[in-house]
Structure 1
Amino acid sequence: MTFKALLTTKTGETISTHLVDFKDEDLMPGDVTVAIEFSTVNYKDAMALSGRSPVIRQFPLIPGIDFAGIVETSSHPGFKVGDRVLVNGWGLSQTHHGGFAQKARVNGDWLVKIPEVFSTQAAMAIGTAGYTAMLSVLALEHDGLTPDRGDILVTGASGGAGSVAIALLSGLGYRVIASTGRQEEGDYLRDLGATQVIDRNTLSQPGAPIAKERWAGVIDSVGSHTLANALAHTQYRGVVAAFGLAQGADLPGSVLPFILRNVTLAGIDSVNAPQEVRLQAWSRLAQDLDLSRLARTTQMVGLAEVPTVAGRVLEGKVRGRTVVDVNA
């Protein structure tokens, strides 16, 4: 039996991805086999397919850092045939075949049962980006932020994680400031719940080590000068959740926000988060995310379109979430 998959190969320094027929027996070891229904194109996927970052650590490999589908076979005690499951991160698209295929075999300890309120398509409309956004909201709450404390800045607001973060925060009663380099997306961001939209250029250049207090918290997907400036403008005892490096992996800032304003910088890792954290995040997504707002963030593509979409993600030309129908 064969199935369709995107396979990424490397010849010399050249990385390329092609749609191929893949065999069941060529899948990697695991105790659960899943018939995949949907995956997504995340920023990390775009980095992997482009070769800009060494996300893929062995070749050839099926990329795709997440997927949702139906259990086809299982020897894992926690899952049975017919269960609806998803996976985010772990070794997918790094050392283990990922979600850009019609089938996957994985370690059952990586899987999460999809909450009843979500279809497999909705689970991937959320995907790793939305799950990461929820982890960020949990980090803000863990350090005591509540809507009455003040505004929350969301950088990279037009992207997948930013879009879901805005929908979540606004639904929880926070006043959200959305930072974007695409001012034409202002109506889209306000429709998701942003109360103010600012130009990312106001944060992306070198700035003062500490500046006027503007927001109580931040969810940042950008890094570099943007994160440094976001920290500099954070209020006393504010919280900044950081998970991205779209502008850069550097942090050209100062200790002043930490020692003068007692600001907390919370790092967010979605790849290796423990299972109890994942379950909490998906439970809260089921409780707090407005599915009608989620639908506004989503576009659908087929497997063959993924490489093109990945290129557009890196160019900053994709809004919100891109769901991949692997059977289209």
Structure 2
Amino acid sequence: MFKAVLIEKDEAGYRAGVTEVDEAALPEGDVTVRVDYSTLNYKDGLAITGKGPVVRKFPMVPGIDLAGTVEASSHADIAVGDAVVLNGWGVGEGHWGGLAQRARLKGDWLVPLPAAFTPRQAMAIGTAGYTAMLCVMALERHGVTPASGEVLVTGANGGVGSVAVALLAKLGYTVVASTGRPQEAGYLKALGAAEIIDRALLSAPGKPLAKERWAGAVDTVGSHTLANVCASMKYRGAVAACGLAQGMDFPSSVAPFILRGVTLAGVDSVMAPRGERLEAWRRLAQDLDVAKLELMTQEIGLGEVVATAAALLEGKVRGRVVVDVKR
């Protein structure tokens, strides 16, 4: 038996809570992992509260991330005792996930835990930090350099935003952080932001084109915010879009793309190929300041997950949430 957060949906309604689960109930997979740490991401919050159609079958153990040690394996490239990390692949949506003390998974979904990180640090990074790194890599691929000009990060107090600010700042970019929580300006400047702007400047309906300002942007928000970011990009600027905190819609026009040559690069972390995952984790080990990682991280136990998920969706959680599944 092991402890897990379990989401159930039946005639009694939609509910989530910590319960004891028999290991025999674990789904099929060629690797069994003793989970050391997991995380709480925006998608996990949607799944646990039922406020988004994330979970595809019930019952479901949520948790799109985990770090742990292999206890059993029939996968040719994974041995018992290996330290591994999982991000995405539909885990916590259609396959039991990481908010549990055990997980059974497909070995092809796993990557080695980088030597630079402990399991806790890897989960302080989690899908949010790995996604932020993919966004930075996308900007680099499209020619955005520190010399290009200011780079905007929207939703900067969230998990992806916080890591993106820290990464870009360490790489030498001038980072402007957009947030709805101006009281967190000190936190964002400690991560490396040069300037803080109010998200209200970007969140209302805007014009097809605005004054050119941003050389690059990491957008975690979507909707009018993303439209306004695109409208205010510099000539040949690039936006890495990875989130929908404001909404899934994109009320924009083609003007930024055909008049300024702006690139809108979609960043998907869930199904990203293994090579990109390995490179993202290599870059995180190289380019992320671990001291700043600790600054943006809070730790909870399994029993606190449900309440914290609700607070996360209400915008009351700063940075990253690590879950110690052993408590």
TM bucket, shorter chain:
over 0.9
Taking a change above 3 Å as real, the CA distance of residues 113 and 294 of structure 1, as seen in their structure-2 partners, is same
8 Å Cα contact 1:68/1:120 also seen in 2 = yes
d(CA) in 2 for partners of 1:12, 1:226: 39
Q: Which amino acid aligns with 2:14?
A: I
d(CA) in 2 for partners of 1:116, 1:219: 28
Q: Which amino acid aligns with 2:243?
A: G
8 Å Cα contact 1:224/1:247 also seen in 2 = yes
Equivalences for residues 259-278 of structure 1 within 5 A: 259-278=258-277
**Paired residue for 1:150?**
149
Where 1:173 maps in the other structure, the secondary structure is coil
Instruction: Report deviation, 1:271.
Output: 0.5
**Paired residue for 1:299?**
298
Instruction: Report deviation, 1:11.
Output: 2.1
d(CA) in 2 for partners of 1:64, 1:250: 26
Equivalences for residues 305-324 of structure 1 within 5 A: 305-324=304-323
1:114-145: per-residue Cα shift (whole Å, max 9, x none)? Answer: 11010000000000000000000000001111
Instruction: Report deviation, 1:91.
Output: 2.0
Q: Which amino acid aligns with 1:204?
A: S
- List runs of 5+ in structure 2 lacking aligned partners: none
**Paired residue for 2:30?**
31
1:184-236: per-residue Cα shift (whole Å, max 9, x none)? Answer: 00000000000000000000000110010111001000000000000000000
d(CA) in 2 for partners of 1:152, 1:16: 41
**Paired residue for 1:215?**
214
Q: Which amino acid aligns with 1:284?
A: R
Instruction: Report deviation, 1:106.
Output: 0.1
Q: Percent identity?
A: 59
Matched, 1:3 2:2: yes
**Paired residue for 1:50?**
49
Q: Which moved more, 1:49-58 or 1:99-108?
A: 49-58
d(CA) in 2 for partners of 1:14, 1:313: 22
1:256-309: per-residue Cα shift (whole Å, max 9, x none)? Answer: 000000000000101100101100100100110000010000000000100100
d(CA) in 2 for partners of 1:295, 1:269: 25
**Paired residue for 1:231?**
230
d(CA) in 1 for partners of 2:162, 2:18: 30
Q: Which amino acid aligns with 2:32?
A: T
Normalising by structure 1, we get a TM-score of: 0.99
**Paired residue for 2:21?**
22
d(CA) in 1 for partners of 2:11, 2:187: 42
Superposed CA RMSD in Å reads 0.8
Where 1:262 maps in the other structure, the secondary structure is coil
d(CA) in 1 for partners of 2:11, 2:160: 33
Equivalences for residues 113-192 of structure 1 within 5 A: 113-192=112-191
Q: Which amino acid aligns with 1:87?
A: L
Instruction: Report deviation, 1:321.
Output: 0.3
1:88-119: per-residue Cα shift (whole Å, max 9, x none)? Answer: 01021111000010000000000010110100
d(CA) in 2 for partners of 1:223, 1:12: 35
8 Å Cα contact 1:43/1:313 also seen in 2 = yes
d(CA) in 2 for partners of 1:90, 1:52: 21
**Paired residue for 2:255?**
256
**Paired residue for 2:60?**
61
Where 2:203 maps in the other structure, the secondary structure is coil
Where 1:203 maps in the other structure, the secondary structure is helix
d(CA) in 2 for partners of 1:205, 1:153: 17
Instruction: Report deviation, 1:12.
Output: 4.1
- List runs of 5+ in structure 1 lacking aligned partners: none
8 Å Cα contact 1:37/1:326 also seen in 2 = yes
Q: Which amino acid aligns with 1:32?
A: V
**Paired residue for 2:93?**
94
Q: Which amino acid aligns with 2:61?
A: I
Taking a change above 3 Å as real, the CA distance of residues 12 and 242 of structure 1, as seen in their structure-2 partners, is farther
d(CA) in 2 for partners of 1:172, 1:78: 34
Instruction: Report deviation, 1:14.
Output: 2.9
Normalising by structure 2, we get a TM-score of: 0.99
8 Å Cα contact 1:88/1:127 also seen in 2 = yes
**Paired residue for 2:192?**
193
Where 1:300 maps in the other structure, the secondary structure is strand
8 Å Cα contact 2:41/2:159 also seen in 1 = yes
Q: Which amino acid aligns with 2:108?
A: D
Q: Which moved more, 1:47-56 or 1:308-317?
A: 47-56
